Every structure is written in C-alpha cells, then in structure tokens.
Amino acid sequence: MADYSIGLSGLDAAQKALDVIGNNIANAATAGYHRQSIELSPAFSLQRGSTLLGGGVDIKGVTRSLDSLLEQEILRQESSLSQISREATTLQTIENIFGELSSEDGGLNTALDSFFNSLQNLSAYPADAVWQNQVISDAEALTGQFRTIGSFLDSLQSQISLEADSTVDSINTLVEQIADFNSRIEQIEIVGGQANSMRDQRDLCLSQLSELIGIQTINRDYGVVDVVASGIPLVVHSYCNKLQSGFSSDEKLGFSVEGASSYITSAQGGKLGGLLSLKNETIVDIQNDLDALACSIIQNINKYHTEGVGTDGSFSELTGWSMPTENLSDINSITDGEIYIRVTNTSTGVITRHSVSIDADSDSLTDIASSISGITGLSAYATSSNRLVISADANYTFDFIPAVLPEPTVINFDDATPPSVSIAGIYTGDVNDSLVFTVKGDGAVGNGTLELEVRDSNGAGNVVKIVNIGSGYAAGDEIDLGNGLKISLSAGNLAETDGDSFTVDVFAETDTSGFLSAVGLNTFFSGTCATDMAVCLEISGNPGRIAAAIGPDMTDNNNIMRMADVQNKALDDLESLACGEFYRQMVNGIGQQVSLKEMNQDNAEVMVLELNNRQNGISGVDINNEAAQLLVFEQMFQAMAKYMSTINSSMQTMMEIL
C-alpha cells in the first residue's frame, strides 16, 4: 500500500502546485500581490530490512516570496515621496501665482515700481490733479495685488486644513481595515492555516497608509502586524486608535488620538506630514513675509503722510479708523512719545504749535481726545466705535506739518528796541531739537561785530553755526543756517551783556509715538496686512488730500519725496532691505524651495522605482517562469498518473497469478 501512498502524495502535490501556479498567473497584474510558492519535502521514510524506502512527498505549505527588509524600506521611501510630492505640488502652485502676478503686464513687483514712480512724478508736479490721480490709480493697483496674493494664501491654508481632515478620515479607514485583517489572519494561522491572500491585502493597506502618514510596523506572532505613527499606536493586534485633526493652542494644524486635547503639529512622511509642514511652516513663512512687506509699506508711507498736507490745505476735521479698543496699550504700534499739532487762526493768521503727550501703557482715545480739546480752537472725542474725531472751531484749522513756526518759540531780549526775528524753511535734521541763538557782542543789527552763536540740544550741545548780524549784514536779509532753515532780523539793538537770546523749536517728525498712523488720522493706506491693505477712502475720493507738502506755504514737494524715497530705504522690519529687494528675495526663496523639492522628488521617485524593481524581481509574477513551472508539474502529474497505472496493473497481474 506504500506504493499507492507515494503515488497519491505525488498527484496531490502536483495538483496543488498547479493550483498555486494558476493563482500566480491569475494575479500577475494584481496590485500588492506577492508571488506564492509551494514548499515540498520528502515524506516519512519506511525501512524494510536493510532498505530505506521513501514515503512520497509532503506539502509543507504555500509561502509568499518577499524580502521583509525590502518591504520596510519601500514603505519608508513611499511615505517620504508622498510628503515631498505634496509639498512640491503646493509650492509649484504658489510659485505660479507669484510668477503670474509678477509678469511684465502686471504684478506685485511691477505694481511696486509703478506706485513709487508715480510718487516721483507727483513730486515734480505736486499740485497737478493728473499726477495726483495717477498716484491713486497705481496705489489701488498695488493694494489689489497684495490682497489677491494674501487672499490666495489664506484660501490655500483653508484648503489644506480641509484636506488634512479628509486625509485623517482615510487613515482611520485604513487603520480599521488593517486591524480587521490582523484578527482574521490570526484566526486562520493560529490553527495552522495560511492566509497569504489576506496578508497581501493587509500589506496593500499598509502601503496605502504609508502614503498618508509615516509609519513603523512591528511583526507579531501568527501574522499580526502592529502599526505606530509619530509615537501613536495606530494598530495593536486587532485593536485600533482613530485620529482626529485640529489646531493646537498656538493655532498650528495637527493631529492626535481621537478625544485627546494635545496635537502633534509636525510629522515625518506621508501626505499628512506634507500638509502639516505646508500649513505650519512653509505657507505661514511666505504669508508672514508678504504681510511684513505690506505692513512696512503701510506704516512708512503713513508715517510721512500723516505729517503732511495736500493741495486742499489744513484740516477742519479728521476722523480716524474704527479701533477694536480705545486702550492704547492694546495697539502694538504705539509707543510713548509726543504728537505736535499746528493750529492756525485763519482770521488773525497766528500759528501756534501744541504738544500732546502719549503714554502707550495708560492712555486711551478718550484721554487723548481730552488733551486735544484743551487746545484753543480744537475739540476732539472718541466715538462708540472707537474712532478719534478732531474738529477745528470756526476760523481755525489744524495740521501736523513739521514746518518751523515763523517766530521763535522763546525770545529773551532786554533792550527797549530789539529787532524782530523771522524764521523760514523746512528743517532737514534727523531728530527734533531746540536751537538756541545767543548774541555775541553789543550794538545795533547791521553794525559792529554783532554775531549769533547757534547751539543745538536746547543750547547745551554743539555749535551749529556762528552767523554775522553786525557789519556787512543788512537788516531783513535771510541767513542760511545750513540745515534747511533761514532766519532774518529787522533793525534793532542787541547786547551780549544782557544775555540776549532766542530759541527755535525744530522738528524732523511731529509724531514720535506712531499714534497718528495707528489710529488712522490723515493716513494714505488703511489695513495692517496684505489681505486688508487698501487706499483710504478719504484719499481715493479726494486726490487733493495727498499730502505732498510739509512746508509752511504748503506748496512744496518735500513730503511726497520722503514717501517716494521709501522705495530705496533699508527698512528694519524688512531685514534692512528695501521693499523691492525684500520682495525679490522672497520670490527667489520660493523658487529655490520649488527647485529643491523637485530635486528631492526626482531622487525619491528613482529610489522608489529601484526598490519596486527589486521587489518585482523577488515577489513579482514572471509569466514565463510560471509557464515553465507549469510544464514541470504537468509532467510530474502525468508521470505520477502513469506510475499509479503501472502499480495498479502490476497488482492485477499478481492477483491473477495467485
């Protein structure tokens, strides 16, 4: 009977081998399928006398052809490629937006140049309505470009947040499937069965999961695989933890175990890792740079604009922006300092300047309004929407121009017939100061060795100049002090022995606190970032309000030139770069990131392709090889059938003999 056992075992082995080969061929194009091989071994041998007889063939099992280390590396590289690809795609989109908007026929770079060029043109014709309107038009084009890019980046971040939600849902679905496969595989293999097809399906889920999030796998007994991601055990045996997406306390996008309150905001690998990197780092950095550029232009243009006047002249009323609060401590851009308001009595022509102290920590809009209301000719109040309103009484106007007053701030002349002193010009110094003019010598103006010694720092500083007002000077002639100011003295007597002197307050800026631009008084731009940057309605509706002048006659172009010079000024809040340079550096940085991501993506694709080729060499189904194996086992089956027929024939012959 052993002969029949040998034959039957051979037939069974050949048949099962043909089944395995057929299954391989049928799944030659199935994603995630690993080629299977039947494992055969000699059956138990039987010794008869001195002869050891074979017992046929045993089927030990059907195994998958795979390299575990290779499979792990493929998961890791596919996860890395997925992250890089997601980052590269978004960066290319951002680059395209900047590239499109920076084209020759219009864009942020072009808009910047056009705006500052129009300011330069207006400086040549400060009272020309055509150039005033051109400034408005170019400014609106500039703000439109900022809002377009800013809104696009905001929208992109919202899309990424939604995509992260969808990705987490997909992760949870795959995690449930893997846990379910673990349970089913264990149930089969714990009783000695084999679940190769289920293992393939689970491994395909693992591959899909690795493309969504970076994972580590741990092999357990009976085919069970545990899965960990960013320290979170996603799958343990047949149990799984679901994830949720959300925002951390610092407003960063992240994920956590469902129900947890703390979020992981950085992850390596997978689509989700790419989304977190884009949302929390890449796009935020680009948006911060864009906002910094917009904010810097807003603040620097407004800083000068608030201190000037346009062809419409001084103001009878100004209304600021609606502020979120009236407390100055809640407005970051305001510091301790002073604002200086110039008030003109239009009926008498008398011009006075008044200072209002700003305490950034304790003052409110109501406090400032109260201080302004204490100035003769002015009244102010804060509205319910936290707008500061300043109004001039009848026959009064006001402004904030730094022009020197026509008469000295303080005069100390002791003689009964002193000269009158007149001051004109626009101070060109860098800081506010008080210049003290001290008489040297005794006598009448225009005679003798009479001189004026000019010192800065309220008379305690350096000698700015010594000017002759004695012999050779004609009363009434203007004397150039070399700092943009000119003085003239009428006939009269002065004496050093009497301590004759006078003081002139000079101003480089009339708002040392940033208060005016922060609350929107006489500003050119409104907004605080790229997405809300706009030209103030008061300016766009009345180009005559463009503050080109800071001189006393209000016909100069000094202020518009200061605003135009912002284009080439190294700005502290732009890394000491000019705004154009900063923008170009930002765009170049995006281009460099795109190039780097594309290079990394190409390298990762080559790596994954090479690993997949190696995997195909080990686990893939080669139809030709399977066909060759098919012939081998077909012949084996035929031979075993012939063997069984021969044994049967021999037995029948033997029985006939007996």
pLDDT tens-digit readout, 550-582: 998 999 999 999 999 999 999 988 989 999 899
Alpha-carbon distance of 280 to 103, in angstroms, equals: 29
- pLDDT tens for residues 199-244? 999 999 999 999 999 999 999 999 999 999 999 999 999 999 999 9
User: What average pLDDT does the segment 252-258 reach?
Assistant: 93
- The token duo for 549 is 């002048």
Cα-Cα end-to-end distance for the chain: 18
Q: Establish if 432 belongs to a structural domain.
A: yes
The radius of gyration computed from the CA coordinates of the chain, to the nearest angstrom, equals 44
In the predicted model, is pLDDT for residue 100 greater than 90?
no
- Token couple for 173: 């679905």
What digits encode the pLDDT tens for the residues 502-515? 999 999 999 999 99
Tokens describing residue 488: 């003239």
**Distance in angstroms (rounded) separating the CA atoms of residues 421 and 39:** 115
285-333 per-position pLDDT tens digit: 999 999 999 999 999 999 999 999 999 999 999 999 999 999 999 988 8
pLDDT tens sequence across 44-70: 776 666 666 777 888 888 888 888 899
Give me the domain span that covers residue 429: 410-506
Cα distance between residue 104 and residue 568, in whole Å? 21
pLDDT above 70 (res 538): yes
pLDDT over 60 at 1, yes or no: no
Please give the single-letter amino acid code of residue 134. Q
- Per-residue pLDDT band at 459 (split at 50, 70, 90): confident
State which H helix or E strand residue 643 sits in: helix 623-657
Residue corresponding to tokens 């194009």 = 29
Q: Count up the domains in the chain and report the number.
A: 2
Question: What is the pLDDT at residue 123?
Answer: 92
Q: In what order do the strands lie in the sheet with 351-358?
A: 351-358, 337-345, 396-399
Asked if pLDDT for residue 165 goes beyond 70, the answer is yes
Model pLDDT, residue 192: 86
**CA-closest candidate to residue 466, choices 495, 432, 439, 429:** 439
The residue that leads in pLDDT, 333 or 76, is: 76
- The helix/strand/coil state of 238 is coil
E strands in 231-308? 232-236, 239-240, 243-247, 253-257
Checking if the pLDDT of 519 tops 90, the result is yes
Residue 580 resides in a domain: no
Q: What percentage of the chain carries pLDDT values higher than 90?
A: 72
Final residue before a domain boundary, out of 506, 526, 544: 506
Question: 198 pLDDT exceeds 80?
Answer: yes
Q: Is residue 489 part of a domain?
A: yes
Most confident of 25-34, 91-100, 174-183: 174-183
The answer to whether 645 and 22 are in contact (CB under 8 A) is: no
Q: Is residue 558 part of a domain?
A: no
Whether residue 394 lies inside any domain: the answer is no
Q: Residue 453, exposed/middle/buried by CB under 10 A (0-12, 13-18, 19+)?
A: middle
- Give the residue carrying structure tokens 């002073």: 338
Asked, for residue 255, whether it belongs to a domain, the answer is: no
Tell me what the pLDDT averaged over the chain comes to.
91
Residue 655 has pLDDT above 60, yes or no: yes
Domain finish residue from 471, 506, 541: 506
Instruction: Select from 153, 398, 463, 189 the least CA-distant residue to 278.
Output: 153
CA 473 to chain centre: 63
> Cα 615 from chain centroid?
41
In the predicted structure, residue 105 carries a pLDDT above the cut 60: no
What's the confidence (pLDDT) of residue 450? Answer: 94
pLDDT at 577: 92
Per-residue pLDDT at 220: 92
pLDDT at 4: 77
- Report the pLDDT value the prediction gives residue 104, as an integer from 0 to 100: 54
Asked if residue 637 belongs to a domain, the reply is yes
Q: Could you tell me if residue 194 is inside a domain?
A: no
Give the span between the Cα atoms of 427 and 236, in whole angstroms: 77
Q: Kindly tell me if the per-residue pLDDT of 408 is higher than 70.
A: yes
Instruction: Give residue 97's pLDDT band: very low, low, confident or very high (50, 70, 90).
Output: confident
- DSSP letters of 515-543? HHHHHTSS-SEE-SSGGG-EE-HHHHT-G
Question: Which amino acid is it at 593?
Answer: Q
Helix, strand, coil % over all residues of the chain, rounded to 5: 50, 20, 30
Residue 305 has a pLDDT of 96
Please spell the DSSP secondary structure of 48-101, one letter per residue.
Answer: ETTEEE---EEEEEEEE---HHHHHHHHHHHHHHHHHHHHHHHHHHHHHHHHHH
The three-state DSSP-derived secondary structure of 127-192 is CCHHHHHHHHHHHHHHHHHHHHHHHHHHHHHHHHHHHHHHHHHHHHHHHHHHHHHHHHHHHHHCCC
Q: Does the pLDDT at position 658 exceed 80?
A: no
Mean pLDDT computed over 491-495: 94
Domain end call among 479, 506, 533? 506
* DSSP string computed for 446-492: TSTT-EEEEESGGGTS-EEEEEE-STTPPTT--EE-SSSEEEEE-S-
Neighbours of 317 (CB within 10 A): 11
Please say whether the beta carbons of 164 and 255 come within 8 A.
yes
Residue 289 is predicted with a pLDDT of 95
pLDDT at 188: 92
